[in-house]
Each structure stands twice: as structure tokens, then as C-alpha cells.
Amino acid sequence: MEKTEFLIIGSPHNLRSHPDLILNVGTAEIKPTNSVRNLGVIMDSDESMTSQVGGLCRTLNYQLRNIGRIRKYLDEDTCHHIIRALVLSRLDYGNSLLAGITNAQFEKLQRIQNKAVRLICGVKRREHISPYLARFT
């Protein structure tokens, strides 16, 4: 019962109109949360996907830093396979749920993709990334 949670989805105005809603299941009282995880995707009560994008960016930045530490020991092809397995697969998972995200959230995800390409190709931070991105599309 302690792992049970539920989410009320709606506009901020509608969410304010139900501040003290409690669900009774057996003897347990369950209060709504602001976000829940289902199949690895974090859903927000306002459908903004802010929690999903933030958590995804934290996880993928961590993975990219770790890969960056061993990059000098990898050839480009091996690095590409590792990044596809550990980073891009997570970036692609549930991406249809990200339709309608804000430009700021989209730019965060684009920066992750750019970092991945920079790591694979050994591109410096100040160098333009577009020609390298075109190689992988």
C-alpha cells in the first residue's frame, strides 16, 4: 500500500479546485501526487512533462560524462554503439509522449543529442555541430 499513488491530470485551475481529494482503498488513505512513474515515464499532473524531461536530462548527462571519461580508449564506432545503447535508446523511449513540450524543454533534449554527437565525433564545444548531426540522420 505504501507504493500506491495516484495522479489527477488537469489544468492548473482545475487542479486548484480539488486540493484535498483523498482516495480510500481498504484502510489506507491515498493522497494525489504531482507526478507518477509508469513504465519508466514520469507523468505530471499538468501534462507538462517537466519531470520527465528533467529526469531524462539528468540521467543522460550522467551517462555521457561517464562515457566521456573512457572515450580516449574507444574508437569512434565503439563509442557510437555505446552511446546508442545507453543514451539514444533512452532519449527515444516514450518520445511520442513529448509532443507539445515547450521550446525550452525541446532545447534541453537537443543539447543532450548534440553532446552525444560531440562525444562520438570528438568535436570541440565551440565547433559547429550541424555537419556532424547530418551524418547520423
Tens-binned pLDDT, residue by residue, of the chain (137 aa): 677 788 878 777 777 776 677 888 888 888 888 888 888 888 888 888 899 999 999 999 999 999 999 999 999 999 999 999 999 999 999 888 888 899 999 999 999 999 999 999 999 888 888 888 888 76
Q: Are 74 and 21 members of one domain?
A: no
Total count of domains within the chain:
2
Q: Are 119 and 87 members of one domain?
A: yes
Q: Are 29 and 54 members of one domain?
A: no
Q: Are 27 and 90 members of one domain?
A: no
Grid cell listed for 71: 572515450
Rounded Cα distance, 70 and 94, in Å: 28
Contact of 50 with 42, CB cutoff 8 Å: no
Q: Are 21 and 55 members of one domain?
A: no
pLDDT of residue 1: 65
- Whether the pTM exceeds 0.75: the reply is yes
Q: Which domain holds residue 94?
A: 50-135
Task: Please report, for residues 64, 68, 120, the alpha-carbon distance to residue 82 in angstroms, rounded to integers and kept in the order given.
Answer: 10, 11, 9
Q: Are 76 and 17 members of one domain?
A: no
42 within domain boundaries: no
